[in-house]
C-alpha cells in the first residue's frame, strides 16, 4: 500500500473514531429559562428551555411556585410536577384560587432560575374565549419541533459513518486492484 493511501485510510479511521466517541451535540448545560403563564383557568404552566439555544430541557426539573394575590393572600410554596402535555412543561398540582396573582417560580435543578409574572385565575366559563392565550401551546409546539430535529442527529451521524466506511472499502478495493495490475 502506498503512503498516500495509508494516510488517507488513517485519516478516515481517525475521523470515524472521533465521530463515534464524541459527546452528543445535543447535550446541554448552563442557564435555563422559565416561561410562566396562566392557562386561562386556575392553573399555571411553566415551560423550561435552555437559555442559550431555546431547546427544551429534558433533564429533571426541580422547581417551586409561590404566589401573592392583589388582595394580600398567599399561595404555596408548591412543588411543580411534569405535565403529560410536554417533556419540558411543568404545572402546579394545586389550582390557584380566583383572583389576580403575582406568581414566582424558582428552579434549583438542572440550573438555578427564577421568573415572576402576573396571572389571572378565573373560572373558564366566565373567561371569554378570545382572552385565552395560545402562546404556551405554540411555544411548546415549537420546542417539540426543535426536539424532534435534535432527535434525528444520531441517525444522520450513523448514515454519514456508514457512507464513510463504504467509501473507504471501495477506495481500498480499487487501490488493491491497481496494485495487482501494476505487478504484471
What tens digit of pLDDT does each residue of 49-91 get? 999 888 999 888 999 999 999 899 999 899 999 988 878 899 9
Within-domain flag for 147: no
Within-domain flag for 84: yes
The 10s digit of each residue's pLDDT in 155-179 is 777 788 888 888 888 878 777 777 6
pLDDT of residue 128: 53
* Best CA proximity match to 38, nearest among 106, 157, 124, 119: 119
The reply to whether 101 and 179 lie within a common domain is no
The reply to whether 169 and 107 lie within a common domain is no
pLDDT of 22 > 80? The answer is no
Provide the CATH number for the domain around residue 100: 2.60.40.10
Within-domain flag for 173: yes
The reply to whether 73 and 114 lie within a common domain is yes
CB 158, CB 75: distance < 8 Å: no
The reply to whether 86 and 13 lie within a common domain is no
Distance between CA 89 and CA 166 in Å, rounded? 43
**Domain region containing 124:** 32-132
The reply to whether 57 and 113 lie within a common domain is yes
The reply to whether 54 and 91 lie within a common domain is yes
User: Residue 34 — very low, low, confident or very high, per pLDDT cuts 50/70/90?
Assistant: very high
The reply to whether 128 and 165 lie within a common domain is no
The reply to whether 42 and 120 lie within a common domain is yes
**pTM score over 0.75:** no
CB 46, CB 57: distance < 8 Å: no
The reply to whether 119 and 177 lie within a common domain is no
Cis geometry, peptide bond prior to residue 77 (ω within 30 degrees of 0) = yes
pLDDT of 112 > 90? The answer is yes
Burial letters 57-85, b for 16+ CB under 10 A, else e: bebebebebbbebeeeeebbebebeebee
Within-domain flag for 72: yes
pLDDT of 184 > 60? The answer is no
Within-domain flag for 85: yes
The reply to whether 38 and 128 lie within a common domain is yes
pLDDT of residue 64: 95
Determine the average pLDDT of the residues in 36-59: 90
Within-domain flag for 83: yes
Within-domain flag for 43: yes
Q: How many domains does the chain have?
A: 2
Within-domain flag for 141: no
The reply to whether 122 and 169 lie within a common domain is no
The reply to whether 124 and 45 lie within a common domain is yes
User: Residue 142 — very low, low, confident or very high, per pLDDT cuts 50/70/90?
Assistant: low
Q: Which residue has the higher pLDDT, 34 or 134?
A: 34
Amino acid at each position: 500500500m502506498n503512503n498516500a493511501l495509508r494516510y488517507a485510510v488513517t485519516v478516515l479511521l481517525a475521523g470515524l473514531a472521533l465521530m463515534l466517541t464524541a459527546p452528543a451535540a445535543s447535550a446541554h448545560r448552563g442557564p435555563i429559562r422559565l416561561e410562566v403563564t396562566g392557562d386561562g383557568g386556575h392553573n399555571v404552566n411553566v415551560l423550561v428551555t435552555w437559555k442559550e439555544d431555546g431547546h427544551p430541557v429534558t433533564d429533571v426539573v426541580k422547581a417551586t411556585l409561590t404566589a401573592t394575590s392583589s388582595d394580600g393572600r398567599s399561595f404555596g410554596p408548591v412543588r411543580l410536577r411534569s405535565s403529560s402535555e410536554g417533556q419540558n412543561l411543568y404545572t402546579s398540582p394545586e389550582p390557584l384560587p380566583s383572583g389576580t396573582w403575582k406568581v414566582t417560580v424558582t428552579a434549583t435543578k438542572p440550573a438555578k432560575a427564577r421568573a415572576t409574572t402576573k396571572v389571572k385565575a378565573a373560572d373558564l366559563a366566565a373567561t371569554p374565549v378570545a382572552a385565552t392565550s395560545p402562546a404556551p401551546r405554540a411555544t411548546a409546539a415549537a420546542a417539540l419541533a426543535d426536539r424532534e430535529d435534535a432527535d434525528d442527529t444520531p441517525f444522520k451521524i450513523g448514515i454519514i459513518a456508514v457512507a464513510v466506511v463504504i467509501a473507504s472499502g471501495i477506495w481500498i478495493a480499487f487501490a488493491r486492484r491497481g496494485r495487482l495490475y501494476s505487478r504484471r
